[in-house]
């Protein structure tokens, strides 16, 4: 219960890593807003799971790439729970596309949701945190792809590098207000975003063998790190990025 009575907004929380983070923060005592892009059934299932465990949660449909939708998300959050203490920028997409087939529309969509969404939500949340004078936490899901390239991820990797850089800059801007800003860099985590990719048994075996701990990650592996960064145990961590990849990045030899 490290987060008892804190208010958390988790974007893209109806599935995958966002779902796991929302459930974990609620288990730590936070009141959780489950933001989703219109997946009401899945989001309501997350809310029900939290409520069945004695927690408090609310689902709100908001496209994080649209300014008015983001403002509405935080307006309802404050209306229902009084404030916001924790923002987790998790919403993101990663279409696997050949470079020569990549269109401007796909590029714009990925950048609008992943990077612009993190900007809009971070600005809206930090204004509330600043005005309410109680500090806060902004935690953003970057990726190991912020550090390495991806032949089918040429639209995606720049957004994850941008998110990491955004948190570093905001750590400087918002630190004086008691707001810490950090990023989590997941490695190969099995979620809906890449499940089709890993239907190929050879690809699954290849990627698992490259990871020193011998397996792909699970959303709960990321949720524990998010809960730590949201807690008082992480008070002096600001502008950091935590690589959660089972050792994949360092396994170069």
Asked about 6 being catalytic, the answer comes back as no
Over the stretch 86-144, which tens digit does the pLDDT of each residue have?
999 999 999 999 999 999 999 999 999 999 999 999 999 999 999 999 999 999 999 99
Over the stretch 172-212, which tens digit does the pLDDT of each residue have?
999 999 999 999 999 999 987 778 778 888 888 988 999 99
Split at pLDDT 50, 70, 90, the class of 224 is very high
Say what the pLDDT of residue 201 is.
87
The catalytically annotated residue of 14, 116, 145, 156 is: 156
The catalytically annotated residue of 143, 145, 183, 188 is: 143
Q: Is 243:14 a contact under the CB 8 Å cutoff? A: no
Say what the pLDDT of residue 195 is.
80
Asked about 143 being catalytic, the answer comes back as yes
The domain spans of the chain are 7-189+219-244
Residue corresponding to tokens 């600005």:
123
Whole-angstrom distance, CA of residue 228 vs CA of residue 77 = 22
Say what the pLDDT of residue 179 is.
98
More confident residue, 163 or 207: 163
Asked about 116 being catalytic, the answer comes back as no
Whole-angstrom distance, CA of residue 78 vs CA of residue 93 = 27
Q: Which of 167, 176, 151, 58 is nearest to 119 (CA)?
A: 167
DSSP designation for 43: H
Whole-angstrom distance, CA of residue 116 vs CA of residue 96 = 20
Average pLDDT of the residues of the chain: 96
Say what the pLDDT of residue 33 is.
98
Whole-angstrom distance, CA of residue 115 vs CA of residue 159 = 5
The catalytically annotated residue of 65, 140, 145, 160 is: 160
CATH class of the domain comprising 7-189+219-244: alpha beta
Is pLDDT above 80 for 223?
A: yes
Whole-angstrom distance, CA of residue 59 vs CA of residue 233 = 28
């Amino acid at each position: 219960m490290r987060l008892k009575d804190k208010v958390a907004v988790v974007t893209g929380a109806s599935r995958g890593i966002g779902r796991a983070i929302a459930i974990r923060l609620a288990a730590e005592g936070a009141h959780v807003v489950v933001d989703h892009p219109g997946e009401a059934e899945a989001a309501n299932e997350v809310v029900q799971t939290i409520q069945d465990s004695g927690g408090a949660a609310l689902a709100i449909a908001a496209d994080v790439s649209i300014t008015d939708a983001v403002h509405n998300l935080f307006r309802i959050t404050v209306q229902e729970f009084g404030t916001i203490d924790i923002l987790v920028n998790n919403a993101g997409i990663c279409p696997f596309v050949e470079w020569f087939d990549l269109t401007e529309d796909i590029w714009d969509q990925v950048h609008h949701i992943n990077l612009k969404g993190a900007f809009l939500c971070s600005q809206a949340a930090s204004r509330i945190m600043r005005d309410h004078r109680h500090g806060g936490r902004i935690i953003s899901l970057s990726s190991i792809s912020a550090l390495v390239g991806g032949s089918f991820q040429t639209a995606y990797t720049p957004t994850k590098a941008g998110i990491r850089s955004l948190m570093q800059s905001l750590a400087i801007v918002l630190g004086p207000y008691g707001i810490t800003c950090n990023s989590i860099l997941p490695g190969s985590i099995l979620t809906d975003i890449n499940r089709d990719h890993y239907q190929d048994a050879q690809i699954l075996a290849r990627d698992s063998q490259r990871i020193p701990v011998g397996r792909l990650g699970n959303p709960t592996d990321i949720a524990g790190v998010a809960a730590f960064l949201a807690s008082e145990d992480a008070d002096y961590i600001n502008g950091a990025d935590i690589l959660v990849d089972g050792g994949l990045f360092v396994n170069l030899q």
